[in-house]
Each structure stands twice: as structure tokens, then as C-alpha cells.
């Protein structure tokens, strides 16, 4: 039985139970959590370890169109998608299941979510489409670079950037609408603030 992880932004507990029941009829095991909208406390990182587990075949995000348009929600989902894709690949299956409103155009979604399939909960065929996405073959290889993100309320938010195979002779990273206060160098797949010296 394939396992799905569901992030719920739905206001109705009944809607969540209905989706879980519907997907179980397709032989899918569904577990999940209720999304906590708190970028300051980096709440987006909480389900990371579950989603990078290779036993999870798809990440399902249950939300209304209105919730998906909220900046903090888009930010948290994007950060979580980046860190999951760093471990599972850019083709890791993501599905957006909308409880209300029309499907947004793909180009209006944040870049890490643009590969997601967008489904409507009032479409009776959404379960079959989720099953098809779970079993779809991987089409894109991993990029030549690594991009990951770590969030910890005590040491802040960190981006990890580096080559996947070869060495770089240098690199430059910029941010828009934020400030880089520290940078560090250390082994891959670990926050430098935990294991190495950092620089102001």
C-alpha cells in the first residue's frame, strides 16, 4: 500500500476525513498534519523528516485557493518543498487539492510548487489522478547543484548551496527582501551553525 502525507490547511475537519476516506478506497494510506502558519518560529520544518522518508510516495496539500494565496502559507510550503526536493529530487510527487475556488494557473504558484498537480476536491476523479501521479515515472534528473534549507527558531533560517558532484571555485548568493547576517562552510546536509564556524 502506497503511503501519502497530507498537509491540511482546510478549515473543516470533516473535509479532511472525507479526503482520507476517499483516498483509502484507492488503496492509499494517508497520514498527515495540520499546517501551522508561523514563519517566525519556522513551523514549516516540522513534517520534514516524514516527507524525506522514502516510504512516503506523495505529498498532498489540502487547501482552499484563498489560503494558497496567503504569502506566509506560500512561503512555508515553498521552504518545505525545497528541503524535500533536495533529498527526494525535483520530481518528488506533490499534489494540491483545492477544497474551494478555481485552480490557480501554474505560473502563479511559487517555483518549488510548480511541478505539483492541481486537483479540485469536488472532482470525483481526483483520487484516480493521485494514484496515477504516485505511479508516474521520474522524468527529470537531479540538477548539478544542491539547494537545501534549514530552519531552527534558535539559530535562524539557513540556505545550503553547493555542487552535487564537482567542486566550485567560488559562488555568490543573494537574497531579495531579506538580509544575510551569517554564512558558514561545512559538510553537506548539515547546518553549519551546528557543526562548523560561522562568519558575520
- Which residues, 6 or more positions from 107, have their beta carbon under 8 angstroms from its beta carbon? 114
Measured between alpha carbons, how far is residue 172 from residues 111, 123, 143, 165, 175 in Å? 20, 45, 18, 18, 10
Dihedral sign from CA coordinates of 12, 38, 60, 177: positive
Average pLDDT over residues 79-97: 93
pLDDT more than 70, % of the chain: 93
Nearest to 84 by CA among 93, 97, 75, 71: 93
Q: What is the mean pLDDT of the chain?
A: 87
Superfamily of structural domain 2-135:
Cobalamin-binding domain (3.40.50.280)
pLDDT more than 90, % of the chain: 55
- Domain span(s) for CATH 3.40.50.280 in the chain: 2-135
Where residue 194 falls among pLDDT bands split at 50, 70, 90? low
Could you tell me whether strands 56-63 and 2-8 are parallel, antiparallel, or unpaired per DSSP bridges? parallel
Q: What is the pLDDT of residues 28-76, one digit of tens each?
A: 999 999 999 999 899 999 999 999 999 999 999 999 999 999 999 999 9
d(CA 49, CA 164): 21
CB atoms within 10 A of CB 22: 17
Average pLDDT over residues 124-149: 86
- The answer to whether 29 and 1 are in contact (CB under 8 A) is yes
pLDDT top residue among 170 and 106: 106
d(CA 55, CA 97): 21
Q: What is the pTM of this model?
A: 0.88
pLDDT top residue among 194 and 44: 44
Amino acid at each position: 500500500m502506497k503511503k501519502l502525507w497530507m498537509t491540511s490547511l482546510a478549515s473543516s475537519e470533516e473535509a479532511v476525513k472525507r479526503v482520507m476516506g476517499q483516498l483509502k478506497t484507492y488503496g492509499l494510506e494517508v497520514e498527515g498534519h495540520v499546517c501551522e502558519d508561523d514563519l517566525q518560529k519556522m513551523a514549516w520544518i516540522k513534517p520534514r523528516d516524514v516527507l524525506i522518508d522514502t516510504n512516503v510516495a506523495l505529498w498532498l496539500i489540502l487547501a482552499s485557493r484563498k489560503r494558497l494565496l496567503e504569502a506566509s502559507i506560500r512561503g512555508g510550503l515553498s521552504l518545505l518543498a525545497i528541503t524535500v526536493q533536495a533529498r527526494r529530487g525535483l520530481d518528488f510527487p506533490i499534489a494540491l487539492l483545492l477544497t474551494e475556488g478555481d485552480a490557480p494557473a501554474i505560473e502563479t504558484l511559487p517555483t518549488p510548487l510548480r511541478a505539483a498537480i492541481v486537483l479540485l476536491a469536488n472532482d470525483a476523479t481526483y483520487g484516480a489522478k493521485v494514484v496515477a501521479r504516485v505511479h508516474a515515472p521520474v522524468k527529470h534528473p537531479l540538477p548539478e547543484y544542491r539547494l537545501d534549507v534549514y530552519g531552527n527558531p534558535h539559530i535562524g533560517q539557513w540556505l545550503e548551496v553547493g555542487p552535487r558532484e564537482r567542486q566550485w571555485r567560488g559562488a555568490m548568493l543573494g537574497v531579495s527582501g531579506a538580509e544575510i547576517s551569517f554564512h558558514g562552510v561545512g559538510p553537506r546536509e548539515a547546518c553549519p551553525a551546528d557543526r562548523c564556524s560561522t562568519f558575520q
